[in-house]
Amino acid sequence: MSEPEKNQPIFGMHYGDLGVVAMAVLFLFGFLWLMFSPAPLKGLDKFDQVAAHDREATIAKLEKARRQKEIDDAVASGVVTVGIAPARH
């Protein structure tokens, strides 16, 4: 009988195969954590709300500036005059 080799890989596998299995397990746990953890989704929702608020504020600011420019152009051209209306009693 021949003596078995001392450096045999575990179950006839190469050590690189164990690395692939370890990486697959890490990816699996990461995926499961992402799927069942509500925390990352809450962060994204908050970010979306802040971004939407910023967009609305920017749009309102641009609309106000556009309206003011139209008023200024109308007053400068003489189409509209600015005056103080008499008080109603």
pLDDT values of the chain reduced to their tens digit, one per residue, 89 residues: 456 566 655 566 677 788 899 999 999 999 998 888 876 667 777 888 889 999 999 999 999 999 999 888 888 887 776 677 777 76
As a 3-state breakdown, the chain gives helix, strand, coil percent values, each rounded to 5, of 70, 0, 30
DSSP state of 78: T
Question: Does the reported pTM lie above 0.85?
Answer: no
Hey, where are the domains in the chain?
A: 10-77
Measured from the Cβ of residue 74, the count of other Cβ atoms closer than 10 Å reads 13
